[in-house]
Amino acid sequence: TSEQIEHLHRRFKQLSQDQLTIRKENFDSIPDLEFNPIRGKIVHAFFDKRNLRQESDGLAEEINFEDFLTIMSYFRPIEMNMDEEQLDRFRKEKLKFLFHMYDSDHDGKITLQEYRNVVEELLSGNPHLEKESARSIADGAMMEAASICVGQMGPDQVYEGITFEDFLKMWQGIDIETKMHVRFLNVDTIAHCY
């Protein structure tokens, strides 16, 4: 809505310190991100040209307000008047954004090592979990992904990695539409994001 865009513009100006663009270091001033274990991946996602719908590889050095709106659009809630086709496209856009967070080398596949990196980052805040345990969790999740996506594999087969189509299969039945959002889109909660 125009009201949400106005709030986002104020937030953008605050983050950019009234400049026309935001750089990665501007995200250092967001308290909620400070302790997020995948903070780096989240910030990286804002500058990933794939997420900026520029259809090119690599990272932008800075983003303007239009780019910021593009990224924030991935987090908007579903609209009640959406038909099945719109809901499907909306869901795929959100999942593509998440997929890009995992696919750090931009090759269109989430490899075991990329998956391990994310799991290790997510579990890094747990002092009782050793790195080897995190790797085992990631390995088990990758095996489960392989069984979901390619079925029973032979002993000599190697699962190369999760493609976007595989990623869609894995998220089937999970309500990503309402889980992937940000708080400062609401008027009442904008004060909590300073």
Angle formed by the axes of helices 112-123 and 84-102, nearest 10°? 90
What is the domain extent for residue 64? 1-73
Residue 188's Cβ-side half-sphere holds a number of Cα atoms within 13 Å equal to 0
Position 155 pLDDT exceeds 80: no
Average pLDDT, the chain: 82
Q: Do 101 and 58 share a structural domain?
A: no
State the pLDDT confidence band at 187, using cuts at 50, 70 and 90: very low
Q: What is the mean pLDDT of residues 139-156?
A: 74
CATH at 113: 1.10.238.10
Contacts of 81 (CB under 8 A, 6+ apart): none
Q: Do residues 22 and 12 touch, judged by C-beta distance below 8 A?
A: yes
Residue 78 CA to residue 93 CA, distance in Å, equals 12
Q: What is the mean pLDDT of residues 49-64?
A: 88
Q: How many domains does the chain have?
A: 2
Task: State phi, psi for 22 to the nearest 5 degrees.
Answer: -115, 140
Asked whether residue 78 is assigned to any structural domain, the reply reads: no
Q: What is the mean pLDDT of residues 57-73?
A: 92
Angle formed by the axes of helices 39-47 and 112-123, nearest 10°? 130
Element (H, E) at 192: none
